[in-house]
Structure 1
Amino acid sequence: MFRTPLVIATALAVAFGFGILSSIYALRATVGFGAIALGPWTAFPNAQTIDADPYAKAHRARDGKLLLGSAEGLTFTAARDSEKRTLVENCRYEIAGLTPPARLWTLHAADSAGNPLEGTGNGLPTGVNAWSVLRGADSAFSIRISSSASAGNWLAIPEGRAPFLLVMTLLDTPTAGSSGVIDLSMPAINRLDCADA
């Protein structure tokens, strides 16, 4: 007598459970569709526009973060260096090259959830921007990223072995609305050495 309702209830519980878990996995796996990759850097130019796909809208709602509109700028993130190795805190890196045209750009390190890294403290530089960076004669720049101080442009990260992201935001840039964004280039991320190597 209770066999049929029990089977139906079990089937519904399994279906709803797998549906919810797969939705959570999909939202954590990607910001959405339409990503562009320039070397190790990735951006989602349509994430805050009316053309955003349902995954991008749901991801934005879950995180509670405001993203830049297409006329405001574009945020690039990098989880790997130019040789596709994961960025980790116990290694030293150098970002070298030029950015696409922008009125202003900023660079900071973040954890895997996209939150700015904490724990460097003591007034160490946790962010760099286009106005504060030292440049060469050809407008190229070189920024060292490490937990130990470095001469010139330096971005401090905490000591440890955790993976991290680099987040570069281009503000007021024609790149965000450009159909030729794939032809642009971002600076390279080169690993210099690691503490345990």
Structure 2
Amino acid sequence: MFRVPLLVLLALVIAFGLGIQSTLVALNATVGFGEISIDGWRAFPEAQTASADPYARSHRARAGRLLLGSAEGLTFIATTDTSGQRLTGLCRYKLAGSVPTTRFWTLYATRPNGEPLNVSQDLPTALNSIITLKNPDGTMNITIGAKATANNWLAIAPDGGPIMLNLTLLDTPAAGNSGLVALTMPRIERIGCGNV
């Protein structure tokens, strides 16, 4: 008597459960289409416009992130260094070079899923174009690691977990770049791991 309704209920639970799970996997798998990659830095300029695909819109809505308009700015992310190795809190890195033309930029580190790192509030967990010391030629050198260094230092958690660098360019022509202008991004070089 209860066999048929029980089987229908079981089939519905499995269908809804698998459907929701596959949707969540699809949303976490990609930020969207139209990715540009420059020297290990990735950006999704289309994800920030009115013509963004449904996956990009859903990904941003689920994360609760503020979208920049295409003329307002562009966020680049990096999860690997220049040799292709994953960025981790156990190692120290040197970010060297210059950013594309922009009025203002910010740099901070998070976990690959966007969670903030567990770093003391007294340490410099973010840098920007105003407070960063620059070389006479306009380039910069920033040390990224758990141990303090002189000059430009971005503190990260020493727990050895994976990290992601977020570089946001505000009021930049790079956001609307049609490929006619070659963009150069700073290089991320590993300079040591552990006590080295």
1:120–1:157 CA contact under 8 A, matched in 2? no
User: Secondary structure, in 3 states, of the residue corresponding to 2:46?
Assistant: coil
Query: Which residue number corresponds to residue 172 of structure 1?
Result: 171
Query: Which residue number corresponds to residue 104 of structure 1?
Result: 104
State percent identity of aligned pairs: 51
Q: Write out per-residue CA displacement over residues 14-34 of structure 1, whole angstroms, 9 at most, x where no aligned residue.
A: 332221111001111111111
Matches within 5 A, 1:32-71: 32-71=32-71
Deviation of the 1:138 alpha carbon: 1.8
Matches within 5 A, 1:13-24: 13-24=13-24
**Over aligned residues, Cα RMSD in angstroms?**
1.9
Deviation of the 1:52 alpha carbon: 0.5
Query: Which residue number corresponds to residue 113 of structure 1?
Result: 113
Query: Which residue number corresponds to residue 31 of structure 1?
Result: 31
Count of aligned residue pairs for this structure pair: 196
1:90–1:196 CA contact under 8 A, matched in 2? no
2:106–2:126 CA contact under 8 A, matched in 1? yes
Query: CA–CA distance in 2 between the matches of 1:182 and 1:39?
Result: 15
2:119–2:125 CA contact under 8 A, matched in 1? no
1:109–1:167 CA contact under 8 A, matched in 2? yes
Query: CA–CA distance in 2 between the matches of 1:148 and 1:181?
Result: 40
Q: 1:8 to 1:182 in 2, by over 3 A?
A: farther
User: Does 2:146 align with 1:147?
Assistant: yes
Q: TM-score, normalised by structure 2?
A: 0.91
2:104–2:171 CA contact under 8 A, matched in 1? yes
Query: CA–CA distance in 1 between the matches of 2:194 and 2:184?
Result: 30
Deviation of the 1:109 alpha carbon: 0.9
AA aligned to 2:179 is G
Q: Write out per-residue CA displacement over residues 1-59 of structure 1, whole angstroms, 9 at most, x where no aligned residue.
A: 76655554444333322211110011111111111111211111111211110011111
Deviation of the 1:80 alpha carbon: 1.1
AA aligned to 2:72 is E
Query: CA–CA distance in 1 between the matches of 2:181 and 2:88?
Result: 27
Q: Greater shift after overlay, 31-40 or 171-180?
A: 31-40
Q: 1:18 to 1:196 in 2, by over 3 A?
A: farther
Query: CA–CA distance in 2 between the matches of 1:181 and 1:92?
Result: 35
Deviation of the 1:152 alpha carbon: 1.6
User: Secondary structure, in 3 states, of the residue corresponding to 1:52?
Assistant: coil
Q: 1:181 to 1:47 in 2, by over 3 A?
A: farther
User: Which runs of 5 or more residues in structure 1 are unaligned?
Assistant: none
AA aligned to 1:60 is R
User: Which runs of 5 or more residues in structure 2 are unaligned?
Assistant: none
Query: Which residue number corresponds to residue 193 of structure 2?
Result: 194
Deviation of the 1:175 alpha carbon: 0.5
